[in-house]
Amino acid sequence: MNAILSISTLELLKLYSELIEAYHSINTYGGDEAEIYAYRLLPHSPFLNKDMTGPIALEEKSKLYKQAAHALHDLCYMFKKQYDCKIRIDNIHYDLWIKKIGNNFQHRVHVKILHK
């Protein structure tokens, strides 16, 4: 659960609200589906500036995006415990997503909330 601490409080509230909307099938993106961008799950970092290149910058960007993936996974885990629902990220169970795809999370995902 440490990765979730990297999300600003205001952004965390917004993200959680989007999941609640998806749970109630009223999310503006897709009813029971929320569109989540990686940058929303990250702290501010100069390494995410597109002008920064080189092995150190690329390594740092990779670490930050992995952190974003784990923050999303933690957020889904917390939400699932609270609402007793099923959560899929890009059509994959959120636990499988973090293991198979999470390390490549750099842009956006679609988080679908399903009632049991």
Here the tokens at position 37 are 């961008």
- pTM greater than the 0.75 cutoff: yes
84: in domain: yes
pLDDT at position 116 is 84
Domain limits at 35?
A: 3-106
52 pLDDT higher than 70: no
| pLDDT range class, residue 50, cuts 50, 70, 90 | low
| pLDDT range class, residue 63, cuts 50, 70, 90 | confident
Give the total number of structural domains in the chain: 1
113: in domain: no
Tell which wins on pLDDT, 92 or 64.
92
114: in domain: no
53: in domain: yes
Task: Classify 90 in phi/psi space as left (phi over 0), alpha (psi -120 to 50) or beta.
Answer: left
18: in domain: yes
Indicate the average pLDDT of the chain: 89
pLDDT digits (tens, 9 = 90+) for 9-18: 999 999 999 9
pLDDT at position 45 is 58
Contact 77, 50 (CB under 8 A): no
